[in-house]
Amino acid sequence: MHSRRSYTRWRLLLAEPRSGAENMARDSALQARAARTGETVFSIYSWTRPTLSFGRHQPATGLYDIEKIRSAKVDVVRRPTGGRAILHDREVTYSVTAPLKDAPSLRETYSRINRILLDGFGRLGVGVELASPSERAAAPSIRPCFETPTEGELVAQGSKLVGSAQWRDEGALLQHGSILVEDDQSVLPSFAAGRAIAGSESISPPATLRALLGRSPDVAEVASAMFDAVRSLEDDDATELAEAEIRGETVSHIPHFLDEGWTWRR
């Protein structure tokens, strides 16, 4: 990630709704592209079907009941990034891919991307701030991602609004996260194998754009606010990237995310 005074080029991608495997494949393709081209891409996208995503190192085998998930007509995918389970349905997902050359530390990169998100939420009329709890980030587990905010995550009125994770590999980083429009994360404990996740009845509800705005903004409105933030803070010449430009690379990554050996690797 670089300052506006550098020659780093930013691109902006509003992708069509895709399946979980296609969305994760596109993010992976963009990460590889960042290492090759030196461009940073800020993407906004949504999902064609409700999809449960596991973090890269999250335990899932024997802890989640695949039949319960299927009967609820929910797809499953494992993210290339870490973190805990998220249900992608009534939400908007963002991603940032950037070359690692001259990139700051993980913490600094999170702060840089958070600055964009905070500005974008301000353009939507949403008051958001950084969480500063004393707890460290939770270890990978069956617990839902939006259960508790950790230091540096984005919260509104004390509740978590955005769940993010980052992965660095082969010269580039990928950070993506879920922005809740409405709250359906409370269904996650019902997918647990055996009885529901212990203590799930006491999980505090997350923040949502609907509750904060009194309405549910669509994907295009969220994208417009975030892209304006990128142009204001990072690159006022940021141009759009057509999804078709990376379609071939995306397709090559899809089999990995359809592989149940990957999805249920833990």
pLDDT (tens digit per residue) in 46-70: 999 999 999 999 999 999 999 999 9
pTM of the model: 0.90
pLDDT value at position 205?
84
> Token pair of 259, please?
């592989």
| Identified catalytic residue from 145, 162, 223, 238 | 145
Confidence of residue 103 (pLDDT cuts 50, 70, 90): confident
Query: What Cα–Cα distance (Å) separates residue 195 from each residue in 58, 150, 170?
Result: 19, 27, 41
- Active-site residue 145, yes or no? yes
- CB half-sphere exposure, 77, CA atoms < 13 A: 24
pLDDT digits (tens, 9 = 90+) for 20-56: 999 999 999 999 999 999 999 999 999 999 999 999 9
